[in-house]
Chain A
Amino acid sequence: MLQVKNLNVIYPKATENALSDVNIHFQKGEFVCILGKSGAGKSTFIRCLNGLQRPTEGSVILNDKNIFQLKEEELRQVRVEMGMIFQHFNLIPRLSVMQNVLTGMFGKRPPIKNLFGIFSKEEKHLALKMIEGVDLAQHKHKRVEALSGGQKQRVAIARALLQNPKVFLGDEPVASLDPGTANRIFQLLQSIHNDYGLLTIINVHDVILAKKYATRIIALREGKVIFDDDPEKFTDEVYNEVYL
């Protein structure tokens, strides 16, 4: 359902490709973890998938359309179908949990209603359901600054879910969390993945998490795909090749 063809990214002033000739075909229902050491191109790759980063060359094809040939308005609609979470959560400061989650609907509503914060009963109810889904109901009126890292990431997950996405993207969503919390976030992502029948693509630097939760592992090195297979096949030799 999501296909990456011949993707190349060269940053301005850089001498080497951040991504070179990446070709990947993703299927609905896959839980993909992307591994690679720092600077391998993981963030660049995942940001290309929803058009946050424009490639120098190549295409990302969703539902038979190259997202880089879309008009701004159409690209927005594509982004609505792709929820994304980030390492630093990227919540809106000074707003409450509820208000932050509600922004997940912004892509589907008229701007004027977003500006004045006009939400129907059903919309608020839906947001509340998402907040309950990530187990934050008792914090719904708290400002997000007052939450722990794990709680912040759960707010971000609820926000992304409110988009009702078909694809779920994560750029190192657990990199700033402790191992226990990281594991619980992955459990949550897995159950959401199964409940909604998503395609989930997540960057991680923790091989153990990837092997535990992924149905497919992709490894990048210097912008090239050097492994793309089942987690069982990610052996110690492959590990050495990726990280050493």
Chain B
Amino acid sequence: MVWFRPKYIFIGLFLAVAIWFSMEQTQFEFEKFKNIPNMFHFIREQFFPPNWGILGRLIEASIVTLSMAFLGTIIALIIAIPLSFMAARNTSRHPILCWFNRSMLSGLRSIPEIVFGLIFVVSLGLGPFPAVLAIMLHNIGVLGKLISELIESAEQGPQEAMKSVGATRWIAVLFSILPQIWPNVLSHFFYRFEVAIRTSLILGFIGAGGIGQQLFNHFQTFQYKSVAMDIIVIIVLVIVVDFIGGKIRERVI
């Protein structure tokens, strides 16, 4: 049979070994699934009813979370746009400048927010400010890469037209490329904003404030009814942002 080449048996064996090895490493045991009914019991007993009394405080905390995510990504966008033009092959003034910008962007991108966050929390103190910096730095790297790729794949035609009307270099580049890529830039921005909201929840765990920190504190102090309330607010927050982001994207494109 053609579809059972010996190669496939080797691949199958290799995968089986890799799965077994990973299960050993993570103490993954099927017996543990027996405990699932206990989990439901635990949740029913400890999480319900959610603690509605803290709703007001949680809404305040969500506004902090939103602000962290928004500020971090919008500053990142403002910084990333000019950097992307310098990092794109077709608009960079010099190959060395282009290479330098690219390496810097990929450096920023490869460091996760949580690492930046830990460094800044230790060096700058607790609170949302270090989280904003962490989100900003990582997203400069991410948006810079995405936008410079958009610039490189922009249509040549309008760029030639702007050259032939005698426009100066940067005006030609801006006018011929920015209108083409703008809808995609915004769409990446909104996506990164949504990711940043989830990130700022995690950053809350290391003391960055906002609703993530509420969740972490309630969890650490076994206040599971408050944890339930935190989770409800987080779910609503993510859904609302997703909905509003979708509406704005529709209008822009």
Contact = CB atoms under 8 A, between A and B. Distances in A.
Nearest to B161: A90
A52 B160 CA distance: 7
Interface in A80-131: 80, 82-84, 86, 88-95, 103-108, 111, 114-115
Interface in B149-176: 157-158, 160-172, 174-176
Contact of B166 (A91, A94, A95, A107): A107
A42 interface: no
A76 B172 CA distance: 11
Contact of A77 (B164, B166, B176): B166
A90 B160 contact: yes
Contact of A114 (B167, B179, B180, B182): B167
Central interface residue in B163, B170, B182, by most chain A CB within 10 Å: B163
B175 A82 contact: no
Given A93-B180, A115-B171, A88 B157 contact: yes
B167 A106 contact: yes
A235 B170 CA distance: 48
A91 B40 CA distance: 62
A203 interface: no
Size bracket of the A interface = 20 to 34
Contacts of A94: 179-180, 182
A154 interface: no
B167 A86 contact: no
A83 B166 CA distance: 9
A151 interface: no
Contact of A92 (B158, B168, B169): B158
Interface residues of B, number: 21
Contacts of A52: 160, 163-164
A182 to B, nearest CB: 19
A64 B182 CA distance: 43
Interface string B41-85: 000000000000000000000000000000000000000000000
Contacts of B180: 93-94
B158 A90 contact: yes
A225 to B, nearest CB: 24
A72 B168 CA distance: 9
B171 A114 contact: yes
Q: Is the interface of B mostly helix, strand, loop or mixed?
A: helix
Given A76-B168, A90-B158, A111-B168, A95 B179 contact: yes
Contacts of A211: none
B165 A92 contact: no
A104 B157 contact: no
Nearest to A112: B171
B128 to A, nearest CB: 35
A54 interface: no
B166 A163 contact: yes
Central interface residue in B161, B164, B169, by most chain A CB within 10 Å: B164
A92 B166 contact: no
Contact of A90 (B157, B169, B182): B157
Contacts of B174: 115
Contact of B161 (A76, A78, A80, A86): A86
A14 to B, nearest CB: 19
Contacts of A105: 165
Contacts of A44: none
A216 interface: no
Interface string B213-237: 0000000000000000000000000
Contacts of A86: 157, 160-161
A163 B160 contact: no
Contacts of A114: 167-168, 171, 175
A54 to B, nearest CB: 13
Nearest to A77: B166
B161 A91 contact: yes
A108 B166 contact: yes
B167 A82 contact: no
Central interface residue in B165, B167, B180, by most chain A CB within 10 Å: B165
Given A106-B171, A115-B174, A79 B179 contact: no
Given A92-B158, A103-B167, A111-B167, 17 more contacts: A52-B164, A72-B169, A77-B166, A78-B166, A79-B163, A80-B166, A86-B157, A92-B176, A93-B158, A94-B179, A103-B175, A106-B167, A111-B171, A114-B175, A115-B171, A156-B161, A163-B166
